[in-house]
């Protein structure tokens, strides 16, 4: 998603939802990933224990947009959809005002509106909402941050890291903070996501480059780019995508990861985890940890040292 400022025709759609739906709607929604201008979704608790969804659009939402929102909040069936033209407003700033910071292990992820709330013991990152997928507010991203934190706490050391499907760059930033002399590369199939990652790297003072302590960038489907293949083998790969692509990428990731290396997989639902895990077991991986965040598990795998 491109970065926007004040626009002349912003819109907000409001629907009631359940608490369970609100938990699922925090942050990144894969159903909107293909849109040129996906909305920013914000859920909040209102009076009496009820919950609601506010979706911010850059332009008047279409019937298809409204229908998609209703599929995400099936509990709203039979209720009216409130569609409001905001007018000349910075819709990203409006939506960010309601996005509370996220604490995941030692990490603290916040929008610009919460710069003054950073805990003294936290590793903080500032990530704008609405720029790309991966703000830290979705359970998949939070799960990956917790997985990284636990690997560090367990004494793991990595020198060559790849973040596949990086979104905003957040997970690559976190990995470099934990292992500051490592070489890292972040890739995404969406060139806008890589532009956003570069912007976020500057905001968070993450150096770009090819050397130790620096992060390289690549626009690539999976690992299909010379910058990625030139760095093989990796000792840590992070892939927060979707279950189908994760299964498809199993052969490439197995070929790119060093024996004994670690793999963090996310973007899958709980019922999809057995199929994803099976695809990687066949390629010589063994489970090494799991973080459950609602119905979104994060899998930590280890490539067995002796696998042909």
Q: Answer whether 280's CB lies under 8 Å from 237's CB.
A: no
Verdict on whether the full-model pTM lies above 0.75: no
| 3-class SS of residue 29 | coil
Residue 237 in any domain: the answer is yes
pLDDT of 36 reads 66
Rounded to the nearest angstrom, the gap between the alpha carbon of residue 19 and the centroid of all alpha carbons in its chain is 21
Give the end of a domain, one of 96, 122, 146. Answer: 96
Kindly report, residue by residue over 133-165, the tens digit of the pLDDT. Answer: 444 456 788 999 999 999 999 999 999 999 999
Domain end residue (candidates: 48, 73, 96): 96
CATH code of the domain containing 284? 3.40.50.150
87 and 162, same domain (yes or no): no
Q: Is residue 249 part of a domain?
A: yes
Read off the pLDDT band of 257 (50, 70, 90). very high
Could you tell me if residue 226 is inside a domain?
Answer: yes
148 plus 200 within the same structural domain: yes
Domain count, the chain: 2
Residues 144 and 34 in one domain: no
Angle between helices 170-178 and 191-203 (to 10 degrees): 40
Q: How many CA atoms lie within 13 A of 139 on its CB side?
A: 18
Output the domain CATH number for residue 17: 3.30.70.260
Co-location of 13 and 152 in the same domain: no
What are the helix (H) ranges across the chain?
Answer: 19-24, 63-72, 91-96, 139-153, 170-178, 191-203, 226-229, 243-248, 250-256, 273-281
The pLDDT assigned to 6 comes to 39
Q: For residue 247, what pLDDT band results from cuts at 50, 70 and 90?
A: very high
What is the domain range of residue 71? Answer: 7-96
């Amino acid at each position: 998603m491109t970065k926007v400022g004040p626009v002349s025709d912003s819109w907000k759609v409001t629907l009631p939802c359940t608490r369970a739906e609100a938990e699922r709607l925090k942050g990144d929604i894969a159903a909107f990933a293909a849109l040129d201008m996906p909305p920013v979704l914000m859920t909040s608790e209102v009076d009496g224990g009820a919950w609601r969804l506010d979706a911010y659009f850059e332009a008047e939402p279409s019937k298809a947009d409204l229908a998609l929102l209703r599929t995400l909040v099936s509990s709203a069936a039979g209720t009216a959809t409130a569609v409001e033209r905001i007018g000349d407003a910075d819709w990203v700033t409006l939506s960010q005002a309601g996005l509370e910071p996220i604490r995941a292990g030692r990490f603290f992820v916040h929008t610009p509106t919460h710069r003054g709330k950073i805990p003294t013991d936290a590793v903080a990152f500032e990530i704008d909402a609405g720029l790309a997928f991966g703000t830290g507010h979705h359970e998949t991203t939070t799960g990956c941050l917790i997985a990284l934190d636990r690997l560090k706490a367990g004494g793991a050391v990595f020198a060559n890291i790849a973040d596949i499907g990086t979104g905003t760059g957040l997970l690559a930033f976190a990995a470099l903070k934990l292992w500051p002399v490592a070489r890292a590369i972040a890739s995404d199939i969406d060139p806008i996501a890589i532009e956003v990652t570069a912007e976020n790297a500057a905001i968070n003072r993450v150096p770009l480059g090819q050397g130790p302590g620096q992060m390289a960038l690549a626009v690539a489907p999976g690992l299909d780019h010379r910058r990625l293949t030139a760095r093989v083998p990796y000792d840590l790969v992070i892939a927060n995508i979707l279950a189908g692509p994760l299964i498809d990428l199993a052969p490439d990731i197995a070929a790119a990861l060093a024996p004994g290396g670690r793999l963090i997989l996310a973007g899958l639902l709980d019922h999809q985890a057995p199929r994803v895990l099976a695809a990687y077991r066949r390629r010589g991986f063994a489970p090494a940890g799991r973080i459950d965040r609602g119905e979104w598990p994060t899998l930590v795998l280890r490539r067995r040292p002796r696998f042909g």
